[in-house]
Structure 1
């Protein structure tokens, strides 16, 4: 038989999903995949049920239902301070991953280079490779995860077309400051580059930090695609609803690509998530407080058992270093061995650090933990870690 498409030859299951399968098989606690097992707010669930009962079962506009796009427009104008003026600049997608896919298809030709900031989210790299774009890596370093802008400029070539920015970041928890984004914008202008900003964790901030959208800065909107969604904020990862905001000509291209790829996002679920915008304003403060409790519990536990822990500035992951453990106890020679040790000795699933770096050696002494769990589950996980390694 003739061979399959060459683009599939190097595809492999992500470590994130592989760990989830291992944990399911052993009955352990999954602190690897960012599944988020907290309940979806009732107004959203009720809105979806009512839409189903009302027969909202046909295709929506390929860019999303008008009420949802209008609500997103108002939200990005008020919270993100984007200068968007029309629903024509909003595209509802099948998850923020769907928005990312249409963004890179709209922007990039095969061979175009895109700068990824390490540690990166693996799907950002995987999809670039799938369309024959070329990822180029610039590495941030713990504990502050600051970017070397000189290294960024050295990475730019005549083939560079875009930079991907994730803030708050998965897996590091890095939150970009306004000063950093302003400096990035100067680079984008100098070299005429686009930016794709993944802001899915935009409401998860700690220690008084503020979320700043690159596209809100003067002169940035015209060259920025802003991605976000509902999965993380409203605990609905399986609903697969995200969105992009970009200048209308670019948003129109992305909408047409979305139409080709998946027609539209699920119609009744769009009606459901539209109800999120009428929820009480205290929801976000309460969510932040709940995640702060979980962040503290997990970070203090990891520190107590010997991990080097850069406390995340945002999102709900901890990219924890275990180089001290590698020097003092067996089972921690590298990230693959360490994550197997945690599963075997504590029944805890994590993600090996190499999943987030181009060079596996850069992630050798890191594991990523997710604390988006019901509090009793996270407390049990921390008890297991202390019992096994304390």
Structure 2
């Protein structure tokens, strides 16, 4: 037999999804994979029931149903600072995962370089490999996860084709300031580089921080590919509805890639979610307050247990420091945590290019009762996971 493709030789399975399976195996509270355990808005669910009896069971237009694109364009035009053309500047994808893959394949040729901030969502490295591109990693330094301007410009001097920007960031919860985004934009224009912006947590921001769409900055519309999804905003991660917004020239190419990747997103679900796209500002303020309360509940609980952690500015992830337990492998620690303590987490090493093994990631997109149960179990962490001897 001939060998199979070697492009995935360096891949493992998704560590995030693996930790969900391990959590399920041990009956752990799953704070690893970032999906909520509460319902989507009733308006969306009610429309879903109606759609089941209507004629939305065949293919929609490949790049997205007309009314979906029109509703999305109306929703995003104000925040993004321009009148988005639903017919020329949007392609609807099967989640933001496909949006990012399609964006990468739209921009990168085999051999091109792509800048990735570290820590990063685990898919970005795989996206680069599958596109035949080479990742250039630029570190974000804790506790505020800021980049060094000279290091970033040095990466641009390597002639990359694009930079991937996750804002707010998964896993560290960083919200890039307008000043930081302006500096990135200036480098992108100076060195003629595209920006692929992953903005799935655009509506989950904590005061006093604010989200700025990098595509809205002067000179950046023409070179930004804005990717997002409805998964986190409307608590419908299983619906797999994402999108790309960009200039017509970019979208013309992205539509071709999307067409041959997945043909189209689910037609009934595109129709069902439209009431959500038409929500007013009150919905997004309530969403922000909801997650702000969950962040406060979870971080206060970690503080009371005496566990060291980051403070996210956006998204719904927390990185916890496990140095006190003296584990060389954060993956081993997470497996023990799920089995002995009954709480699922993701090893931080899966997000860093640097050799970081002392952080694990929790998420708090859960009911208050679920978070309280997780905290109750974590309160026993030192009894159930004794620190290893430093001399072993």
- Shorter chain as normaliser: what TM range? over 0.9
Q: Match of 2:52, SS? A: helix
Q: Distance in 2 between matches of 1:293 and 1:389?
A: 27
Partners of 1:67 and 1:256 lie apart in 2 by 21
Match of 1:376 in 2: 369
The DSSP-based 3-state class of the residue aligned with 1:87 is coil
In structure 2, the residue matched to 1:367 is: 360
TM-score, length basis structure 1: 0.94
For 2:167, the equivalent position in structure 1 comes to 167
- Residue of structure 2 equivalent to 1:338: 333
Give the superposition deviation at 1:333: 4.0
Give the stretch that moved more between structures: 222-231 or 281-290.
281-290
Secondary structure of the structure 1 residue equivalent to 2:164 = strand
C-alpha distance in 2, partners of 1:86/1:374? Answer: 36
In structure 2, distance between residues paired with 1:19 and 1:82: 41
* Deviation (angstroms), 1:126: 1.0
Q: Answer yes or no: is the 8 Å Cα contact 1:71–1:277 preserved in 2.
A: yes
Query: Is the 1:115–1:162 Cα contact (8 Å) retained in structure 2?
Result: yes
Which residues of 2 match residues 208-227 of structure 1 at below 5 A?
208-227=208-227
- 2: distance between equivalents of 1:158 and 1:297? 44
Which TM-score applies when normalising by structure 2? 0.94
Deviations 1:176-235 (A, max 9, x none): 111111111110011100000000000001123211000001111000001111000111
Counterparts of 2:158 and 2:284, CA distance in 1: 43
CA 1:43–1:211: 2 relative to 1, 3 Å: same
> C-alpha separation between the residues in 1 aligned to 2:338 and 2:41?
32
Of stretches 93-102 and 78-87 in structure 1, the one that deviates more from structure 2 is 78-87
Whether the 8 Å contact between 1:173 and 1:318 is mirrored in structure 2 is: yes
Structure 1 residue 71: deviation in Å?
1.3
Partner deviation per Cα, 1:280-333 (whole Å, 9 max, x = no partner): 54222222122112111222222333432221000000122233x24xxx6x44
Conserved? CA contact 1:43–1:279, under 8 Å: no
Contact map agreement 2:111 2:133 (CA 8 A) in 1: yes
Deviation at 1:158, TM superposition (A): 4.7
Aligned to 2:54: 54
SS at match of 1:338: helix
- Map 1:103-252 to 2 at 5 A: 103-252=103-252
Structure 2 Cα separation of the partners of residues 335 and 52 of structure 1: 45
How far does residue 83 in structure 1 lie from its aligned partner after superposition?
Answer: 5.2
Q: Partner of 1:22 in structure 2?
A: 22
Match of 1:255 in 2: 255
* Partner residue in 2 for 1:386: 379
Q: Distance in 2 between matches of 1:169 and 1:108?
A: 22
Q: Which residue of 1 aligns with 2:353?
A: 358
CA distance in 1, matches of 2:152, 2:190: 13
Indicate conservation of the 8 Å contact 1:121/1:171, yes or no. yes
Report the Cα distance in structure 1 between the residues aligned to 2:136 and 2:158, rounded to whole angstroms. Answer: 13
Deviates more, 1:305-314 or 1:214-223: 305-314
**What is the rounded CA distance, in whole Å, between the counterparts of 1:341 and 1:3 in structure 2?**
36
- 1:317 alignment partner in structure 2: 317
Worse-matched range after superposition: 210-219 or 288-297: 288-297
Q: 2:38 & 2:10 partners in 1: Cα distance?
A: 34
Contact 1:34 1:370 (C-alpha < 8 Å) held by counterparts: yes
Tell me if the contact between 2:75 and 2:278 (Cα under 8 Å) persists in the aligned partners.
Answer: no
Return the alpha-carbon distance in structure 1 between the equivalents of residues 89 and 292 of structure 2. 34
Unaligned regions of 5+ residues in structure 1, if any?
none
Alignment: residue pair count: 383
Give SS of 1:210's match: coil
Structure-2 separation of matches of 1:313 and 1:111: 35
* Offset at residue 43 of structure 1 (A): 1.4
In the alignment, is the contact (CA less than 8 A) between 2:215 and 2:224 conserved in 1? yes
1:124 to partner: Cα distance: 1.3
2:86 and 2:124 map into 1 onto residues whose CA distance is 28
Distance 1:275 1:304 in 2: 41
